A = this chain, B = another copy of it.
Protein backbone atom coordinates (compact mmCIF):
# COMPACT_ATOMS: atom_id res chain seq x y z
CA UNK A 1 0.00 0.00 0.00
CA UNK A 2 2.76 2.41 1.02
CA UNK A 3 4.83 1.26 -1.96
CA UNK A 4 1.80 2.05 -4.05
CA UNK A 5 1.50 5.61 -2.71
CA UNK A 6 5.16 6.09 -3.58
CA UNK A 7 4.64 5.02 -7.18
CA UNK A 8 1.52 7.18 -7.49
CA UNK A 9 3.47 10.16 -6.14
CA UNK A 10 6.39 9.76 -8.57
CA UNK A 11 3.95 9.46 -11.48
CA UNK A 12 2.01 12.51 -10.34
CA UNK A 13 5.18 14.61 -10.02
CA UNK A 14 6.13 13.58 -13.57
CA UNK A 15 2.66 14.49 -14.87
CA UNK A 16 3.13 17.96 -13.37
CA UNK A 17 6.51 18.31 -15.10
CA UNK A 18 8.87 17.37 -12.27
CA UNK A 19 11.31 14.46 -12.51
CA UNK A 20 13.20 13.04 -9.54
CA UNK A 21 16.40 14.04 -11.35
CA UNK A 22 15.36 17.70 -11.53
CA UNK A 23 14.85 17.72 -7.74
CA UNK A 24 18.18 15.94 -7.16
CA UNK A 25 19.90 18.62 -9.25
CA UNK A 26 18.76 21.30 -6.80
CA UNK A 27 20.21 19.34 -3.89
CA UNK A 28 23.45 18.92 -5.83
CA UNK A 29 23.65 22.69 -6.47
CA UNK A 30 23.29 23.60 -2.80
CA UNK A 31 25.52 20.80 -1.46
CA UNK A 32 28.40 20.62 -3.94
CA UNK A 33 30.54 22.94 -1.79
CA UNK A 34 30.24 20.62 1.21
CA UNK A 35 29.92 17.13 -0.17
CA UNK A 36 31.03 14.65 -2.85
CA UNK A 37 27.61 13.13 -3.44
CA UNK A 38 26.48 13.02 -7.08
CA UNK A 39 23.10 13.87 -8.61
CA UNK A 40 22.44 10.14 -8.72
CA UNK A 41 23.16 9.80 -4.99
CA UNK A 42 20.61 12.53 -4.29
CA UNK A 43 18.07 10.77 -6.53
CA UNK A 44 18.42 7.76 -4.27
CA UNK A 45 18.00 9.87 -1.15
CA UNK A 46 14.81 11.39 -2.62
CA UNK A 47 13.46 7.93 -3.46
CA UNK A 48 14.04 6.90 0.16
CA UNK A 49 12.30 10.06 1.38
CA UNK A 50 9.29 9.17 -0.76
CA UNK A 51 8.91 5.93 1.25
CA UNK A 52 7.51 8.00 4.11
CA UNK A 53 3.77 8.23 4.28
CA UNK A 54 3.81 11.80 5.66
CA UNK A 55 5.83 12.84 2.62
CA UNK A 56 3.61 11.25 -0.04
CA UNK A 57 0.53 12.63 1.75
CA UNK A 58 1.96 16.15 1.61
CA UNK A 59 2.99 15.87 -2.05
CA UNK A 60 -0.33 14.42 -3.22
CA UNK A 61 -2.43 16.89 -1.19
CA UNK A 62 -0.44 19.87 -2.46
CA UNK A 63 -0.67 18.83 -6.10
CA UNK A 64 -4.40 18.11 -5.66
CA UNK A 65 -4.89 21.71 -4.52
CA UNK A 66 -2.93 23.11 -7.49
CA UNK A 67 -5.05 21.01 -9.86
CA UNK A 68 -8.32 22.05 -8.20
CA UNK A 69 -7.35 25.70 -8.66
CA UNK A 70 -6.49 25.12 -12.33
CA UNK A 71 -9.85 23.45 -12.91
CA UNK A 72 -11.73 26.30 -11.22
CA UNK A 73 -13.23 23.99 -8.62
CA UNK A 74 -12.48 25.96 -5.45
CA UNK A 75 -14.60 28.96 -4.51
CA UNK A 76 -13.31 32.09 -6.28
CA UNK A 77 -12.20 33.91 -3.09
CA UNK A 78 -9.61 31.32 -2.13
CA UNK A 79 -8.76 30.22 -5.70
CA UNK A 80 -7.65 33.70 -6.60
CA UNK A 81 -5.41 34.01 -3.54
CA UNK A 82 -3.76 30.66 -4.25
CA UNK A 83 -3.40 31.21 -7.97
CA UNK A 84 -1.61 34.54 -7.56
CA UNK A 85 0.59 32.90 -4.88
CA UNK A 86 0.22 36.09 -2.82
CA UNK A 87 3.29 36.74 -0.67
CA UNK A 88 1.03 36.63 2.37
CA UNK A 89 -0.48 33.25 1.44
CA UNK A 90 1.58 30.85 3.54
CA UNK A 91 -0.41 27.61 3.45
CA UNK A 92 1.90 26.19 0.76
CA UNK A 93 4.92 26.66 3.03
CA UNK A 94 3.07 25.30 6.08
CA UNK A 95 2.07 22.17 4.17
CA UNK A 96 5.67 21.27 3.38
CA UNK A 97 6.61 21.74 7.04
CA UNK A 98 5.25 18.20 7.41
CA UNK A 99 8.16 17.10 5.19
CA UNK A 100 10.79 19.44 6.68
CA UNK A 101 9.90 18.55 10.29
CA UNK A 102 11.06 14.98 9.76
CA UNK A 103 14.47 16.08 8.50
CA UNK A 104 15.29 18.70 11.12
CA UNK A 105 16.79 22.14 11.10
CA UNK A 106 19.18 21.59 8.17
CA UNK A 107 16.13 20.90 6.02
CA UNK A 108 14.51 24.17 7.13
CA UNK A 109 17.44 26.40 6.34
CA UNK A 110 18.04 24.75 2.98
CA UNK A 111 14.36 25.11 2.13
CA UNK A 112 14.49 28.82 2.97
CA UNK A 113 17.54 29.19 0.76
CA UNK A 114 16.22 27.45 -2.38
CA UNK A 115 12.81 29.08 -1.95
CA UNK A 116 14.40 32.52 -2.02
CA UNK A 117 17.04 31.74 -4.69
CA UNK A 118 14.53 29.79 -6.82
CA UNK A 119 17.16 27.23 -7.77
CA UNK A 120 16.71 25.09 -10.94
CA UNK A 121 13.28 23.67 -11.68
CA UNK A 122 11.76 25.86 -8.90
CA UNK A 123 12.31 28.95 -11.05
CA UNK A 124 10.81 27.18 -14.08
CA UNK A 125 7.68 26.24 -12.13
CA UNK A 126 7.40 29.76 -10.82
CA UNK A 127 7.61 31.23 -14.33
CA UNK A 128 5.26 28.65 -15.83
CA UNK A 129 2.72 29.55 -13.13
CA UNK A 130 3.04 33.28 -13.75
CA UNK A 131 3.02 33.14 -17.56
CA UNK A 132 0.15 30.69 -18.03
CA UNK A 133 -3.10 31.79 -16.45
CA UNK A 134 -4.37 28.21 -16.67
CA UNK A 135 -1.43 26.71 -14.74
CA UNK A 136 -1.05 26.78 -10.97
CA UNK A 137 2.11 25.52 -9.26
CA UNK A 138 1.78 27.41 -5.98
CA UNK A 139 2.11 24.25 -3.88
CA UNK A 140 4.34 22.31 -6.26
CA UNK A 141 7.28 24.71 -6.15
CA UNK A 142 7.41 24.47 -2.34
CA UNK A 143 7.05 20.69 -2.50
CA UNK A 144 10.04 20.48 -4.84
CA UNK A 145 12.07 22.79 -2.58
CA UNK A 146 11.18 20.74 0.49
CA UNK A 147 12.14 17.43 -1.14
CA UNK A 148 15.46 18.89 -2.30
CA UNK A 149 16.12 20.31 1.18
CA UNK A 150 15.18 17.03 2.86
CA UNK A 151 17.69 15.21 0.64
CA UNK A 152 20.39 17.73 1.62
CA UNK A 153 19.65 17.12 5.30
CA UNK A 154 19.59 13.35 4.87
CA UNK A 155 23.00 13.40 3.19
CA UNK A 156 24.44 15.62 5.96
CA UNK A 157 23.18 13.23 8.63
CA UNK A 158 24.60 10.23 6.76
CA UNK A 159 28.05 11.81 6.53
CA UNK A 160 28.14 12.45 10.28
CA UNK A 161 27.14 8.97 11.35
Interface residues of A (CB under 8 A from B): 2, 4-5, 8, 12, 30, 53-54, 57-58, 60-61, 64-65, 67-68, 71, 73-75, 77-78, 81-82, 86-95, 97-98, 101-102, 104-106, 108-113, 115-117, 156-157, 160-161
Contact = CB atoms under 8 A, between A and B. Distances in A.
Given A91-B95, A98-B94, A160-B87, A75 B109 contact: no
Contacts of A12: 75
Nearest to A115: B109
The 4 closest A-B pairs by CB, nearest first: A112-B112, A90-B105, A93-B105, A101-B101
B98 A108 contact: no
Contacts of A115: 109, 112
A96 to B, nearest CB: 9
Contacts of A86: 160
A91 B160 contact: no
B64 A93 contact: no
A65 B91 CA distance: 12
A68 B77 contact: no
5 contacts: A60-B75, A61-B65, A64-B65, A101-B104, A110-B112
B113 A57 contact: no
A88 B93 CA distance: 20
Nearest to A106: B87
A57 B112 contact: no
